[in-house]
């Protein structure tokens, strides 16, 4: 894997701006980062091509799309052989209610974040789908009582003071 190129201040400012407003007009973006329109557009396209920017998405309100029930699930597998891990990893990608899945070290093997309509929908998903994923031995569910903070905005090092 090649090491990503070093970003200059303008590139970092572009990344900061587009991650908080992916629909920003190029004219507005160029003003915010201190470049004219064409060089700003070229830099943005280069950042996309080099996969610094993986895509643009709408931030939906889970309540309004009937996905307000949020749980975290610890998953312990029967064993962690390469074959079992690969099968679990492939299968979990096909479950749309699973928003994130992280392999962990410690007392369990995976931590998954799940959204459903309500507890009943989650219980069905757990019994019919999650527990049936390849290699699953045990699950522990942690319902979220209140979401205090959620963001996808990454801190961009080296920006200094932004005005």
pLDDT grade for 161, boundaries at 50, 70 and 90: low
CATH number of 69-143: 3.30.70.920
pLDDT in tens, 10-68: 999 999 999 999 999 999 999 999 999 999 999 999 999 999 999 999 999 999 999 99
Q: Are the CB atoms for 135 and 81 separated by under 8 Å?
A: no
Q: Which CATH class is domain 9-49?
A: mainly alpha
Instruction: Say what the pTM is.
Output: 0.87
At residue 94, the pLDDT reads 98
The residues spanned by each domain of the chain are 9-49, 69-143
Secondary structure of the chain as H, E, C letters = CCCCCCCCHHHHHHHHHHHHCCCCCHHHHHHHHCCCHHHHHHHHHHHHHCCCCCCCCCCCCCCCCCCCEEEEEEEEECCCCHHHHHHHHHHHCCCCCEEEEEECCCCCCEEEEEEECCHHHHHHHHHHHHCCCCCEEEEEEEECCCCCCCCCCCCCCCCCCCC
At residue 163, the pLDDT reads 40
pLDDT grade for 4, boundaries at 50, 70 and 90: confident
pLDDT in tens, 96-151: 999 999 999 999 999 999 999 999 999 999 999 999 999 999 999 999 999 999 99
Domains 9-49 and 69-143 share a fold: no
pLDDT grade for 1, boundaries at 50, 70 and 90: low
pLDDT grade for 162, boundaries at 50, 70 and 90: very low
């Amino acid at each position: 894997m090649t090491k990503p190129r070093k970003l200059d201040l303008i590139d970092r400012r572009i990344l900061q701006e587009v991650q908080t407003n992916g629909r920003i007009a190029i004219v507005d973006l160029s003003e915010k980062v201190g470049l004219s329109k064409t060089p700003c557009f070229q830099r943005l396209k280069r950042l996309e091509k080099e996969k610094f920017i993986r895509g643009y998405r709408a931030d939906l309100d889970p309540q309004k799309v009937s996905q307000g029930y949020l749980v975290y699930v610890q998953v312990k597998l029967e064993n962690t052989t390469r074959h079992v891990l690969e099968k679990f990893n492939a299968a979990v990608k096909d479950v749309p209610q699973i928003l994130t899945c992280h392999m962990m070290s410690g007392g369990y093997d995976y931590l998954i974040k799940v959204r459903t309509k309500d507890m009943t929908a989650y219980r069905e998903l757990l019994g019919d789908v999650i527990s049936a994923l390849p290699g699953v031995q045990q699950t522990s569910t942690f319902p979220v009582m209140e979401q205090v903070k959620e963001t996808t905005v990454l801190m961009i090092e080296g920006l200094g003071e932004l005005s």
